[in-house]
A and B are shown apart, each in its own frame.
Chain A
Amino acid sequence: MQLNSNVPSGPLETKWDRYKFDLKKVNPANKRKFEIIVVGTGLAGGSAAATLADLGYHVKNFCIQDSPRRAHSIAAQGGINAAKNYPGDGDSVQNLFYDTIKGGDYRAREANVYRLAQNANNIIDHCVATGVPFAREYGGLHANRSFGGAQVSRTFYARGQTGQQLLLGVYGQLSRQIGLGGVEMYPRRDILDVVIVDGCARGVICRNLVTGEIESHSAHAVVLATGGYDNVYFLSTSGMHSNVSACWAAYKKGAAFANPCYTQIHPTCITVHGDYQSKLTLMSESLRNDGRIWVPKKAGDNRSPDQIPEDERDYYLERKYPSFGNLVPRDVASRNAKLACDEGRGVGNTGLAVYLDFSDAIKRDGEDVIRAKYGNLFQMYDKIQDEDPYKVPMKIYPAIHYVMGGTWVDYNLMTTRDGLFCLGGANFSDHGANRLGASALMQGLSDGYFVLPYTIGGYLATQSLADVNTSHQAFKDAEKQLNEKLNKLMNINGKRTVDDIHKELGHYMWEYCGMARNDAGLKEAIQKISALREEFWQNVNVTGTSKDFNQTLEKGYRLADYLEFGELLARDALTRTESCGGHFREESQTEENEAKRDDENFCHVAAWEYAGEGKDPILNKEPLVFENVKLTQRSYK
């Protein structure tokens, strides 16, 4: 497989402008002749669909939920970065670029990250123009807040619902185009295959989630913006419909999958309380500004927190990292919480929690000040946990929150399959081995509003694509294959439910591919996942019929893909014997037990290529070249 990043040459600062100038353009009258399929209505897919239609292309847009407004972008809380320098604290595009590439532990492409930083300010302007009510100062201008990994205030926010407001802005633009006829909207659809004709992506196969019908749709290009695959871990902060299925189908049709092992674990989430639990809820990173994290010094100490005297508490982050204390980066905080619990010092019913204690801050500043800062989060916590965090320390634990890995794309956001593009959370491009807070929203909108609309034109203008419609044999074959797979699934009639097997997969993923990974564990994971996959195909129970609204079947085929993908994730983690960002290999740590990169051997993107059923996937490497930043090892002591 040829991995050509297609990054233009020349100085970093002018690459994108020169590239846009050089790109071949499709003239307005011809745009109408092109059909583009966009899968996903999150920030990435929704903004792409709306913008392409506005330019004159004919767009077909698909999503799983009943309305495009419900994509999981809606759940983002904290904010979106830009380099506006409104607070006058010296921010710049250069600064935003540098923080993002360093935050990613030097495992992202310089040119992509620079372009992202360049687009950031346009994103804010456009969002405001579409009606996003970002927070304002009393003077009427925009307010900014600080986020992890940056020394400036550059984050725009709309209360604790930034993702919701951004997505509603996108949804407005998309709705306008649907009303005008530029976008044909297909909600409640699951894209389950990509159709290739003459080497190019020319359509998709989907299941209508209401009727169960299998449908074919053809186009001149296909764009996947299907979000993250976090739910391979079963429990995560992702929505319940998170899946890898569309990207996995693309992988099998020649689109390489990059860095699947890069996962982000967020340290402050509401804890798991029982095996019936279906998802995890994030508690914003900002809480660590005032909350102190601790566990009892003695293992097995199950006194209530107010009964544990000061000198029998271990404020382990403050002890180990005196200069950063409770504000160490996400990966460091997460690993240390796990360590404390592994030592038997975890708290709560399950022993899988640590305290996040605000009593000192309340003593110092008063309850009102704390309420003004974090009131909505405290209330959210109270709703779920039924405990008042003003009185009792929060119990928190790390949870799977984001995946940096995804479908490999070049500078045009095109995959290794011609005519197949991938945007937003679904691609691998901009966050390296660790994503900084408030940068995923920025990436989704950059890809959809400001990158793809140009680069896809460059592709379409230089192709001579034959007329293809859904009566083409490639569609018939793909439909047949999918029907066979679904029938097989419907006819197993085994003894275990889909959720039951998914929970077992999640358990292996979390144990062996979670916060700390090692050679033996990863090998074991690969074996266990493959055995579980076999059991699934013999012992799962999917009730009802396939030609109906059937949520068990939906979960079933998503899990079938996760059972294959989980193995690739473990394999990637096994191969990358260095630690970097969110990927911590126990074999590769500094003397102080911090993640240790191996730039000599691993300064590359791992792009996995499908080799056929039952065959080992092929590893391709895209070397990462750094011409503008110097690679350094992180330290937070």
Chain B
Amino acid sequence: MEEKFINLTLKVWRQKQGEKKGKIETYQAKNISTDASFLEMLDIVNDDLTIKGIEPIAFDHDCREGICGMCGQVVNGYAHGEEKGTTLCQLHMRRFKDGDTVFIEPFRAKAFKVVKDLVVDRSAFDKIIQAGGYITAKAGGAPDANIFPVTYETCELAMNAAECIGCGACVAACPNASAMLFVSAKISHLALLPQGRPEAAKRALGMVRAMDACGFGNCSNERECEASCPKNISITNIARMNREFLSAGVCSTAM
């Protein structure tokens, strides 16, 4: 598509640090190249606000190539915007039309408090991983890497789950603000690999308990998480997690 320059009206959530409430402000994004990314569009708007003496819009980002999981906003009602399999930083302005009004809000969930404007606190995800999302291994005691063969197919399945970037879009998209897709992705990744089996039961119990303690909601099979996930993490992982969790509950030594 040929590069064009478009004008947009932005309706952006602004919320001061430490305040419980915020409000939508209206800004104009002028002369935006359709080749710019969504975050670059926000950079332009922010530079413009700065010159006018208005504080720029706060938003999280780092890699800007879809891998760190730091970016994330709800754009026109969709976490990371409407385009499938795309993080916000990979969304480009050619998906918008001249004259569009764009609503921009933070990822909302009970477990994700707004820090400021579009920035939220996702540390609950870290807490869940701390409760078991790893394999215990000392640096120095590992056997040769080829000791456990893993079939090509199993490795592919594990990798599909391991691609989760921890962005939180699944939580923001879920009507119950459930973290099941995120948690199941990590449980699946490790449970599928032979080196992850010894701790599988303990891991599933620990992570699920931490998830509940952090205030995430339950899964009621809405599938919104899968639809919004920029890495196309499959909800079949949730079924695998439920199996792991149930068998962990039965085998009480893991408690």
Residues of A whose CB lies within 8 Å of any CB of B are 47, 50-51, 54, 65-70, 72, 74-75, 84, 86, 122, 124-131, 133-142, 158-159, 161, 163-165, 168, 171-173, 175-176, 178-179, 185, 187, 210-211, 239-241, 273-274, 276-279, 281, 349, 380, 383-384, 386, 449-450, 453, 495, 497, 499-500, 541, 543-544, 548-549, 551-552
A276 contacts B134, C-beta separation under 8 Å: no
In-complex Cβ contact of A126 among B36, B54, B139 (8 A): B139
A281 to B136, CA, bound (A): 35
User: Are A140 and B121 neighbours in the complex by a CB distance under 8 Å?
Assistant: no
A139: which B residues are within 8 A, CB to CB?
149
A230 to B115, CA, bound (A): 29
The answer on a CB contact under 8 Å between A142 and B146 is yes
Report the separation of the CA atoms of residues A75 and B115 in the bound assembly, to the nearest whole angstrom: 26
Contact A453 to B139, CB < 8 A, known contacts A72-B63, A74-B63, A279-B64: yes
With A70-B68, A75-B65, A141-B146 in contact, is A129–B137 under 8 Å at CB? yes
8 Å CB interface, B223-244 against A: none
Chain B CB within 10 Å — which of A50, A84, A128 has the most? A128
Q: Is B33 an interface residue (CB 8 A)?
A: yes
Instruction: For B121, give its contact among A66, A128, A179, A551 (CB under 8 Å).
Output: A66
The segment out of B45-53, B96-104, B171-179, B247-255 that lies at the interface is: B45-53
In the complex, whether B116 has a CB less than 8 A from a CB of chain A is yes
A273 to B17, CA, bound (A): 35
Q: B141 contacts which chain A residues (CB < 8 A)?
A: 129
The smallest C-beta distance from B3 to any residue of chain A, in angstroms, reads: 7
6 intermolecular pairs with C-beta atoms under 8 Å apart: A126-B142, A130-B134, A133-B189, A178-B126, A278-B64, A543-B54
Interface-facing stretch out of B6-14, B20-28, B190-198, B214-222: B190-198
**Interchain CB contact under 8 A, A549 and B119:** yes
Bound CA span A344–B30, Å? 32
CB of B35 within 8 A of chain A? yes
Having A67-B166, A211-B17, one finds 20 other A-B pairs with CB under 8 Å, namely A54-B138, A70-B63, A86-B146, A130-B137, A140-B151, A141-B149, A158-B162, A164-B67, A165-B162, A172-B135, A175-B129, A178-B126, A239-B64, A240-B64, A273-B33, A274-B35, A349-B3, A386-B35, A549-B115, A549-B119
In contact, B92 and A240 (Cβ under 8 angstroms): no
Q: In the complex, what distance in Å separates the CA atom of A241 from the CA atom of B116? A: 18
Chain B's nearest CB lies how many Å from the CB of A380? 8
From A130, A497, A549, contact of B50 by CB (8 A): A497
B interface, CB within 8 angstroms of A: 1, 3, 17, 33, 35-37, 39-40, 43-44, 47, 49-51, 53-56, 58, 60-65, 67-70, 86, 90, 92, 94, 115-116, 119, 121-123, 125-126, 129-131, 133-146, 149-152, 155, 158-159, 162-163, 165-166, 189-190, 193, 195-196
Give chain A nearest CB distance to B191 CB in angstroms. Answer: 10
Please indicate the chain B residues that have their CB under 8 angstroms from the CB of A168 in the complex: 162
Residues of chain A within 8 A of B140, CB atoms compared = 122, 126, 450
The residue that B129 contacts in the complex, of A172, A239, A450, with Cβ under 8 A, is A172
Contact of A277 among B17, B40, B155, B163 (CB under 8 A): B40
Closest residue of B by beta carbon distance from A50:
B139
Closest to B161 in A: A133
B106 CB → nearest A CB, Å: 13
CA distance A185 to B141 in the complex (A): 25
Assess the A241–B115 pair: CB atoms within 8 A. Answer: no
Bound CA span A372–B203, Å: 36
In the complex, what's the smallest C-beta–C-beta distance from B143 to chain A, in angstroms?
7
Interchain CA distance A500-B48 in the complex, whole Å: 11
Q: Which A-chain residue is minimally distant from B121 (CB atoms)?
A: A66
Chain B residue numbers with a CB within 8 Å of A240 are: 61-64
With known contacts A386-B94, A541-B50, A142–B135 Cβ distance under 8 A: no
Q: Which residues of B contact A137 (CB under 8 A)?
A: 152
A residues near B94, Cβ cutoff 8 Å:
386
Q: Complex: how many Å from CA A122 to CA B58?
A: 42
Q: With a 10 A CB-CB cut-off, give which of B150, B162, B163 has the most chain A CB atoms.
A: B162
**A276:B150 contact, CB within 8 angstroms:** no
**Which residue of chain B has its CB nearest to the CB of A128?**
B145
Taking the closest CB of chain B, its distance from the CB of A125, in whole angstroms, is: 4
Indicate whether A276 sits within 8 Å of B40 (C-beta atoms), given known contacts A122-B142, A500-B47: yes
Would you give the shortest CB distance from A402 to chain B, in whole angstroms?
15
Question: Are A131's CB and B190's CB within 8 A?
Answer: yes
Q: Quote the shortest CB–CB distance from A541 to chain B (angstroms).
A: 6
Interface residue from A65, A124, A161, A383 paired with B163 (Cβ < 8 Å): A161
Task: A380 to B66: give the CA distance in the assembly, Å.
Answer: 10
B122 with A66: CB separation less than 8 A? yes
Smallest CB gap from A548: residue in B: B17
CA gap between A128 and B196 in the complex, in Å: 10
Chain A residue nearest in CB terms to B32:
A276
**Would B145 and A543 count as touching, CB distance under 8 A?**
no
Task: Flag if B150 contacts A140 (CB, 8 Å).
Answer: yes
Report A451 CB to chain B, min CB distance, Å: 11
Please, which residues of chain A bring their CB within 8 A of the CB of B119?
549
**A449 in complex: contacting residue of B3, B43, B139, CB < 8 Å:** B139
Give the contacting residue for A175; candidates B35, B49, B67, B130; CB below 8 A.
B130
Residue of B nearest to A211 (CB): B17
**Given A67-B126, A172-B135, A274-B33, also A210-B158 (CB < 8 A):** no
Q: Contact between B126 and A175 (Cβ–Cβ < 8 Å)?
A: yes
Chain A residues whose CB sits within 8 angstroms of the CB of B62 once the complex forms? 65, 70, 72, 239-241
A401 CB to closest chain B CB, in angstroms?
13
In whole angstroms, how far apart are the Cα atoms of A497 and B47 in the complex?
A: 7
Chain A residues in 8 Å Cβ range of B146: 86, 141-142
Q: Give Cα A228 to B54, complex, Å.
A: 32
Q: Which residue of A lies closest to B143 (CB)?
A: A125
- With beta carbons under 8 angstroms apart, the residue of A47, A349, A386, A549 that contacts B17 is A549
CA distance A159 to B116 in the complex (A): 36
- Expressed in whole angstroms, the minimum distance between the Cβ of B182 and any Cβ of chain A is 12
The answer to whether B150 touches A136, judged by C-beta atoms less than 8 angstroms apart, is yes
Q: Let me know if A47 and B139 touch, CB within 8 A.
A: yes
Q: Which of the listed residues B126, B151, B195 has the most CB atoms from chain A within 10 Å of its own CB? A: B126
- In angstroms, Cα B70 to Cα A281, docked, is 17
CB of A386 within 8 A of CB of B189, answer: no
Judging by beta carbons under 8 Å apart, are B135 and A130 in contact?
A: yes
A173 and chain B: residue at smallest CB distance: B134
**A139–B152 CA distance with the chains assembled, in angstroms:** 7
A138, A139, A551 — which one has the most chain B CB atoms within 10 A of its CB? A551
Q: How distant is B88 from chain A, measured CB to nearest CB, in Å?
A: 13
When C-beta atoms are compared, the residue in chain B nearest to A77 turns out to be B67
Given A172-B134, A179-B131, A552-B50, verify A128-B195 contact (CB < 8 Å).
yes
A616 to B136, CA, bound (A): 50
Judging by beta carbons under 8 Å apart, are B155 and A133 in contact?
yes
Whether the Cβ atoms of B92 and A386 lie closer than 8 Å is yes
Q: How far is the CB of B141 from chain A (nearest CB, A)?
A: 8
Chain A residues, CB < 8 A from B67: 74-75, 161, 163-164
Instruction: Report the bound CA distance from A84 to B193 in whole Å.
Output: 21
In the bound complex, how far is the Cα of B140 from the Cα of A450, in angstroms?
A: 8
CB B151 to nearest CB in A, in angstroms, measures 5
Q: Which of B55, B61, B69, B193 contacts A133 (CB 8 A)?
A: B193
Given contacts A75-B65, A137-B152, A279-B64, contact A499 B43 (CB under 8 A): yes
